[in-house]
Amino acid sequence: MTDLQTQFEAAAKAATSLLTRPDNETMLKLYALYKQAKAGDADGKRPGMFDMVGRAKYDAWAALKGTPKETAMQTYIDLVAALSR
pLDDT tens profile 47-71: 999 999 999 999 999 999 999 999 9
**Under 8 Å between Cβ of 73 and 4:** yes
Range of the domain at 46: 3-84
Q: What is the per-residue pLDDT for 2?
A: 87
In angstroms, rounded to a whole number, what is the distance separating the alpha carbons of residues 84 and 71?
20
Considering its fold, how many domains does the chain have in total? 1
For residue 25, the domain's CATH number is 1.20.80.10
Note the maximum CA span of the chain: 41
Phi/psi at 28 (5° precision)? -65, -40
